[in-house]
Amino acid sequence: MTATLTDDLPQSPAPRKPRKFFLVVGVGLAVMLGIGLFTSVGTKPTGRPHQGGPVPSFTAKRLNGSGSVKVPSDGGSNGAPAVLLFFGNWCTVCHTELPQLAAAVQRQSALAGGLGKVRVIGVDSEDTVANARGFIRSSGVEFPVAYDPDLAITSGDFYFEGDPYAVFVNGNGTINAIVAGPLSVATFTADEKKLIPSES
């Protein structure tokens, strides 16, 4: 019997079916990528805070009272303007500045005018709890103060180096002004008035 030509050729393998394992992994990766993209919408902004940009939101332990201090994405909460004052007991300039600003805030609250509606929030950095509380008490601070011992807020969220700093926040959560260094009561009040249209 004569062999045909086709009998001598190697047989090509049957086409392979895609493995289910690789299909499952591929679909899983696609789903995780989609979830990551959609859940990143509306998260905390990244980058250095600036005038006109959103204020970074944070939550921290409250030093002069119980509970925590929160700065939501709308700044002062419920559409109220806010001022964030950054200071520390270790900061020599702060020992002159803070008592004057604390007294001004108390006067504004007592008058119950437009400036009394501006929420003032302190951030004490790089102090022990005892030093921070002593400094707040001796400076006459009555507004809530957040504890920032490791600079997670001061340097991490706001990119500030050292103290003092002040951040003036509009009622919609955008930053109206950032002031580095010592702040006089006159400048503090003038910048607060810019947060309230009727007071401008």
Contact 134, 145 (CB under 8 A): no
Instruction: Identify the band that residue 117 occupies on the pLDDT scale cut at 50, 70 and 90.
Output: confident
58-199, superfamily in CATH?
Answer: Glutaredoxin (3.40.30.10)
CA distance 176 to 51: 5
Q: What pLDDT, on a 0 to 100 scale, did the predictor assign at position 116?
A: 85
Instruction: Identify the band that residue 26 occupies on the pLDDT scale cut at 50, 70 and 90.
Output: low
Residue 39 scores a pLDDT above 70: no
Q: What pLDDT, on a 0 to 100 scale, did the predictor assign at position 79?
A: 78
Percent of the chain residues past pLDDT 90, beyond the cut: 62
DSSP single-letter state for residue 190: H
The span from the first CA to the last CA of the chain, in angstroms, equals 109
Q: What pLDDT, on a 0 to 100 scale, did the predictor assign at position 24?
A: 53
Contact 148, 125 (CB under 8 A): yes
Average pLDDT over residues 55-67: 94
Instruction: Identify the band that residue 75 occupies on the pLDDT scale cut at 50, 70 and 90.
Output: low
CA distances 181 to 39, 57, 90, 110, Å, are 38, 22, 14, 27
Average pLDDT over residues 39-54: 68
CA distance 52 to 187: 19
pLDDT top residue among 168 and 117: 168
Average pLDDT over residues 63-91: 86
Q: What is the pTM of this model?
A: 0.75
Q: In 3-state terms, what secondary structure has residue 93? A: helix
**Angle at alpha carbon of residue 103, lines to 102 and 106, rounded to 5°:** 90
Average pLDDT over residues 24-28: 53
CA distance 121 to 79: 15
CA distance 130 to 90: 12
Average pLDDT over residues 67-76: 77
CA distances 50 to 46, 138, 152, 174, 190, Å, are 11, 32, 18, 9, 19
CA distance 197 to 193: 7
Domain-by-domain residue ranges, the chain? 58-199
Average pLDDT over residues 183-190: 96
Average pLDDT over residues 134-160: 97
Average pLDDT over residues 167-189: 95
Q: What pLDDT, on a 0 to 100 scale, did the predictor assign at position 113?
A: 79
CA distance 93 to 163: 8
In our burial notation (b when 16+ CB lie closer than 10 A, e otherwise), range 47-77 reads eebeeeebbbebebebbbeeeebebeebbbe
Residue 192 scores a pLDDT above 60: yes
